């Protein structure tokens, strides 16, 4: 999970959602904006999992992937990760690989 100061408020989320660069993948979409600090948000909708327990589990896993990559590589920016309905059929390793590849496409070149 990200620290509280690394998470976004609703107004920040709305602003970056409209103005960010969208990168599409098979399981996830990332909205990226350059920044001097690091912020992140993960959205898992009801179309992915009907049960809140499963949605929260996936959300926490994606947060941990994002946090660990930030901690090890030290990249900055604002990242909003949106899950697609196909994410429900993916395993943890596939989601992790997708996050890494989408972050590499966003300009975080240290990941590859």
Residue holding tokens 């001097």?
A: 36
Counting every residue written for the chain, the total comes to 112
The count of structural domains within the chain is 1
Helices 92-105 and 52-73: crossing angle in degrees, nearest 10, is 50
- Residue 20 covered by a domain: yes
pLDDT digits (tens, 9 = 90+) for 22-34: 999 999 999 999 9
Q: Please give the residue range of the domain that contains residue 55.
A: 4-103
- Residue 86 covered by a domain: yes
Distance CA 15, CA 81 (A): 15
Write the CATH number for 80.
3.30.230.10
pLDDT digits (tens, 9 = 90+) for 58-110: 999 999 999 998 889 888 899 999 999 999 999 999 999 999 999 888 876 55
- Residue 109 covered by a domain: no
Distance CA 93, CA 102 (A): 14
pLDDT for 109 equals 52
Alpha helices in 38-80 (DSSP H): 52-73
pLDDT digits (tens, 9 = 90+) for 45-61: 999 999 999 999 999 99
């Amino acid at each position: 999970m990200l620290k509280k100061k690394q998470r976004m408020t609703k107004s920040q989320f709305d602003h970056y959602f409209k103005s960010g660069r969208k990168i599409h993948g098979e399981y996830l979409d990332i909205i990226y904006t350059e920044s001097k600090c690091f912020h992140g948000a993960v959205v898992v909708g009801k179309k992915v999992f009907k049960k809140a327990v499963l949605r929260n589990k996936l959300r926490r896993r994606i947060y941990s992937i994002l946090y660990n990559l930030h901690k090890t590589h030290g990249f900055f920016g604002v990242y909003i990760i949106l899950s697609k309905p196909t994410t429900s059929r993916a395993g943890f390793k596939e989601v992790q690989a997708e996050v890494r590849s989408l972050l590499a496409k966003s300009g975080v070149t240290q990941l590859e």
